[in-house]
Amino acid sequence: MRDSDVVVVGGSAAGLTAAITAARHFPNKRTLVVRREDRVLVPCGIPYIFGTLKSVEKNIMPDASYEANDIELLKADVTKLDPAGKLIHTSKGDVAYDRLILATGSLPIMPPIPGFDLAGVFAIQKEMDYLQDLFERLEHARNVVIIGGGFIGVEFADEINKMGDARITIVEMMPHCLSLAYDDEFCVEMEDLIASRGIEIKTSVKVESIRGKDRVESVLLSDGSEIKADAVILGIGARPTVDLAEKAGLRIGLTGAIAVDQTMLTSESNIFACGDCAEKVSFFGGRPSGLKLASIAQTEARIAAANLFGITRQHCGTIGVWSTCVGDLALGTAGLTEAMARQHGYNIVTAVVEGPNRHPGGMPGMSKLKMKAVFEANSGIILGAQVRGGPAVGEVINAVSACVQKRMNAEEIATFQIGTHPALTPSPVVYPLVNVAEMAIKKMRQHG
């Protein structure tokens, strides 16, 4: 039987980050990661296997971090947890632990649609052989239907489009693609770009069934139309993987994930959970949150691992920060969109700015950057923002997230001390984050 001070179950974004954090914070403790995969995929990079990377092999998380941080690695299936005995049972023998972190991730949702189990229907599983089969199927597919117009659907559609001349159709039951992530005006911009690249979009319609004999042949929609399909991709979300925790008696939360407190501790002492398998609550009011992102997973992992032998960190709640891009168009959100804020019942003020991301506008790399920010009308506290522009959107939206997390108000953001450069940023005179705060202040005074 093996034993270790810290055992982490799962080796993806949450598990690897948790192990590295534990090794850094507690260098005198032995840390062991148990994972079933021989090699681990970069989860956010999966769509880009098909059109940009052109290979599953190019989307692998290197194992060099294990040796660099003196972390042991056991490649095995975990079959059972024994909290009372502080053991985990694996396909390669038992492992004893002092502290345990569960980072078992999630699995794609398989919808109750007739025909979902036909050959040629794929969910987005994080397995190399499975994705290699999908890659080979897509190389020869003439008609591809993607069910779900969220991040997965949009990114997969664009990447598959780069592979050849297949007819690609996105089917989304909401009025717009990406409508759970952005306000309508941002969704429409992305839809227009997708359509301009030859991808067909069908919104406000449901899938009735997936048809075929031995393999998929078509998709029947609720409006009566039928789309030919050689391959169907399901991109409608994921469910937390909690079987081990549930069978071990750990409490399961309202969203079906492992219940944890602000320190990421489960209902069982000495067992923590993080990533997609762990319950999340919103930064905005503490309601349950179903968000599942690698960026959220690593934050939770850093909190869980730092708290293993004494509480030093607490989770403030999930803010929700994400971005996506198709071609040169990138969209990002941090916190609440206008629609989300209204659904939460906030009294809000919104402000929108748009301008060049370089100064002067003739500088190389110039593109228009648009920011729409949402503030609580009475306090002026920023609740969130959306950004549209070029590659810098990913980092701009991270700066917004810091403002949201620190509950900065419009006056504080308006006097935010910034650094600018003609080749790197917008002009300091109209810097978006500062300018949008000034515009919000003006609106609040007018309404006051």
3-state SS of the chain is CEEEEEEEECCCHHHHHHHHHHHHHCCCCCEEEEECCCCEECHHHCCHHHHHHCCHHHCEECCHHHHHCCCEEEECCEEEEECCCCEEEECCEEEEEEEEEECCCEEECCCCCCCCCCECEEECCCCHHHHHHHHHHHHHCCEEEEECCCHHHHHHHHHHHCCCCCEEEEEECCCCCCCCCCCHHHHHHHHHHHHHCCCEEEECCCEEEEEECCEEEEEEECCCCEEECCEEEECCCEEECCHHHHHCCCCECCCCCECCCCCCECCCCCEEECHHHECEEECCCCCEECCCCHHHHHHHHHHHHHCCCCCCCCCCCECCEEEEEECCEEEEEEECCHHHHHHHCCCEEEEEEEEECCCCCCCCCCCEEEEEEEEECCCCEEEEEEEEECCCHHHHHHHHHHHHHCCCEHHHHHCCCCCCCCCCCCCHHHCHHHHHHHHHHHHHHHHC
Separation between Cα atoms, residue 432 and residue 62, nearest integer Å: 37
Q: Are 228 and 207 in contact (CB under 8 A)?
A: no
Instruction: Phi first, then psi: give them for residue 258, nearest 5 degrees.
Output: -70, 125
Separation between Cα atoms, residue 203 and residue 215, nearest integer Å: 25
Q: ∠ at Cα 190 (224, 397), nearest 5°?
A: 135
Tokens of 267: 């209902």
Q: Are 34 and 9 in contact (CB under 8 A)?
A: yes
Separation between Cα atoms, residue 319 and residue 313, nearest integer Å: 17
pLDDT value, residue 448: 62
Full set of structural domains in the chain with CATH: 2-107+239-306 (3.50.50.60), 110-236 (3.50.50.60), 321-447 (3.50.50.60)
Strand duo 2-9 + 31-35: pairing: parallel
pLDDT value, residue 447: 73
Its sign, for the CA torsion 301, 403, 440, 363, is negative
pLDDT value, residue 446: 85
Q: Are 78 and 90 in contact (CB under 8 A)?
A: yes
Mean pLDDT of residues grouped by 10 in the chain (448 residues)? Answer: 96 97 98 97 95 96 96 98 98 98 96 93 94 96 97 97 95 97 98 97 97 96 97 95 98 97 97 98 95 97 98 97 96 98 97 96 93 97 97 95 98 96 94 96 86
Q: Are 220 and 209 in contact (CB under 8 A)?
A: yes
**pTM, rounded to two decimals:** 0.95
Separation between Cα atoms, residue 335 and residue 373, nearest integer Å: 10
Q: Are 275 and 105 in contact (CB under 8 A)?
A: yes
